[in-house]
Amino acid sequence: MPRPIRVLVAKPGLDGHDRGAKVVAAALRDAGMEVIYTGLHQTPEMIASAAVQEDVDVVGLSILSGAHMTLFPRVKALLVEQGREDILITGGGIIPQEDMQALRALGVGELFGPGTSTTDLIAYIRGWFTQHHAQEV
């Protein structure tokens, strides 16, 4: 039996709206993934530290505040500093297409906008995990 995919869902910054993050966390859990939800108002340092401590495969950031061009790269850099460049950084929120492309160029995974089906996100994470952890599946 393959091990479950471990996902940390986080709300960085001052954005106080977490309904979408909770829906995503529940959908991932229902799909058989182990989910850690860190709650609101997390700093990039808190998110990276929790990701390393929990030994997750994926970090999903929910950002509606417009700070995505700062927060995604910062979390990515902190994980790389801690030797965990193997963790997928993905997420969603209000992110213009050109910013999604810029973040992808920095090593961030797929990003999802409002209204994305949770089945699309689940399929993306499963596909990424299978590709990067084939020996464990």
- DSSP assignment string, 5-57: PEEEEE-BTT----HHHHHHHHHHHHTT-EEEE--SSB-HHHHHHHHHHTT-S
Output phi, psi for 43, to 5 deg: -85, 160
Token pair, residue 11, equals 């709300």
Residue 137 tokens, joined: 């599946």
Considering only CA atoms, which of 24, 38, 36 is closest in space to residue 121?
Answer: 24
pTM, two decimal places: 0.95
Confidence band, pLDDT 50/70/90 cuts, at residue 51: very high
Nearest residue to 46 via CA among 65, 110, 37: 37
Q: What percent of the chain has pLDDT over 70?
A: 97
| Span 7-27, average pLDDT | 92
In the predicted structure, residue 78 carries a pLDDT above the cut 60: yes
| Residue 55 pLDDT | 97
Measured between alpha carbons, how far is 9 from 1 in angstroms, rounded to an integer? Answer: 24
pLDDT 10s digits, 80-105:
999 999 999 999 999 999 999 999 99
- Give the chain's domains with CATH numbers: 6-136 (3.40.50.280)
